[in-house]
Amino acid sequence: MFKVESQEVDRRIELFKQAAKAAGIKLTHQRIEIFREVASSVDHPSAEAVHKALSPRMPTLSHDTVYRTLWLLTDLGMVSTLGPKRESIRFDANPEPHHHYVCLRCGLARDFKSSELNELRIPEAVSEFGSINATQVEVHGICKDCLQKQQDN
Amino acid sequence: MFKVESQEVDRRIELFKQAAKAAGIKLTHQRIEIFREVASSVDHPSAEAVHKALSPRMPTLSHDTVYRTLWLLTDLGMVSTLGPKRESIRFDANPEPHHHYVCLRCGLARDFKSSELNELRIPEAVSEFGSINATQVEVHGICKDCLQKQQDN
DNA sequence: TACGTGGATAGGAATGTATCCTATTTAGGA
DNA sequence: TCCTAAATAGGATACATTCCTATCCACGTA
């Protein structure tokens, strides 16, 4: 499996340390190693994969810590998730070409159409990964309901 | 919650019936109702949500049937999933703007860059859903490993 | 229309993922 | 170095998904 260059990883860890300090959270060994693992991997690991990768070096590392730390990193903006967050698998029976708006907080997903976005030019290099079946745009944001709840606090 | 117009739903069910016949699979009451539920919903329901919606009408409907049917519909191409399929949540620590290639079969996810795709124009209407945080392109396909395995069969 | 059969379902058991709980440990300021 | 609030470990729990198998039924055939 490919790795991100260590120089780049160090740079990202530096950014994380700054963000942690700014947010007033503690810089534990666990947090640094968990972030290092995600930052140095190109294949978007699951929490389980992160735990497995670190276990040899950190045999007492708990699953809970991995999960808590990954969500913390997400809140700090150092890490993001692929697809709708936290939720279970979501299904879509819209046969027309369309695109998705996804709420980062509650997972709400809505379709929208755009003939312009249906005609995107995908870089040649992508076909190195495999066949191309479909292409769609994902817009990430916070939905109106969640924005409302945020204000109520 | 909004619904897809019933005329459009009927059209999709017709397409499903044709596809089922072509594929030689049985048209059970359960399959039709499960497909109807996904096809008439605009909010991309989870398997659990589909089960809950149908329970009053079909009190003996099992979770297993809902799951099996949704994957069947996915294989038939009548339904798709949001984000990486089947897998657990995946994390991404790449701070640069980037896009994703996702394998529909195994969930492999890889980044790619394109300054052109970083500058997409999103339709006005999308801001009706909520705030816009980030936009990225998702390319769906079958990765080289999975294509290879497919040939071996 | 009735029959037979292979595919499909129900329901509970098993697995796997993610979170909660709480006693113990530790980072980082005083 | 000491103190304290924050963080962790590890087991318990909750929930999502799949597996297992006896039973049921869609649909081709007569």
pLDDT digits (tens, 9 = 90+) for A97-111: 889 898 877 778 888
* pLDDT band (50, 70, 90) for residue B83: low
Q: In this predicted model, what pLDDT tens digit does every residue of A95-144 receive, in sequence order?
A: 788 898 988 777 788 889 999 999 899 999 999 999 998 898 989 888 89
Quote the crossing angle between the two packed helices B63-76 and B6-23, to the nearest 10°: 80
Q: In this predicted model, what pLDDT tens digit does every residue of B12-39 receive, in sequence order?
A: 999 999 999 999 999 999 999 999 999 9
Q: Give yes or no for CB of A58 within 7 Å of strand D.
A: yes
CB distance from B1 to chain A under 8 Å? no
Q: Give yes or no for CB of A27 within 7 Å of strand D.
A: no
* pLDDT > 90 in chain B, percent: 50
Whether A150 shows a pLDDT value over 60: the answer reads yes
Whether B109 shows a pLDDT value over 90: the answer reads no
Tokens 């919606």 belong to B53
**What is the rounded distance in angstroms from the CA atom of residue A26 to the CA atom of residue A24?**
7
Indicate if the alpha-carbon torsion angle A136, A141, A142, A145 is positive or negative: negative
Whether A82 shows a pLDDT value over 90: the answer reads no
Q: Compute the mean pLDDT over every residue in chain A, rounded to the nearest whole number.
A: 87
Scanning B62-81 for CB atoms below 8 A from A yields 70, 73-74, 78-81
**What is the rounded distance in angstroms from the CA atom of residue B24 to the CA atom of residue A97?**
27
pLDDT at A3: 76
Half-sphere exposure of A79 (CA within 13 A, CB side): 31
Domains of chain A: 6-76 (1.10.10.10), 99-152 (3.30.1490.190)
H/E element holding B146?
A: helix B144-152
CB B77 within 8 A of CB B15: no
Dmax (CA) of chain B: 52
**What is the rounded distance in angstroms from the CA atom of residue B103 to the CA atom of residue A95?**
19
Strand C: positions under 7 A of a protein C-beta atom: 7-13, 17-21, 26-28
pLDDT at B19: 93
Determine the 3-state secondary structure of A144 from DSSP. helix
**What is the rounded distance in angstroms from the CA atom of residue A35 to the CA atom of residue A20?**
12
CB contact under 8 A, A45 and B90: yes
pLDDT at B88: 59
**What is the rounded distance in angstroms from the CA atom of residue B14 to the CA atom of residue A42?**
43
How many angstroms separate the CA of residue B60 from the nearest CA in chain A? 22
pLDDT at B43: 82
**What is the rounded distance in angstroms from the CA atom of residue A105 to the CA atom of residue A146?**
7
pLDDT (mean) for B119-144: 91
Scanning B130-149 for CB atoms below 8 A from A yields 130-147
Whether A146 shows a pLDDT value over 90: the answer reads no
* pLDDT band (50, 70, 90) for residue A79: confident
* pLDDT > 70 in chain B, percent: 92
pLDDT (mean) for A13-21: 93
Whether A153 shows a pLDDT value over 60: the answer reads no
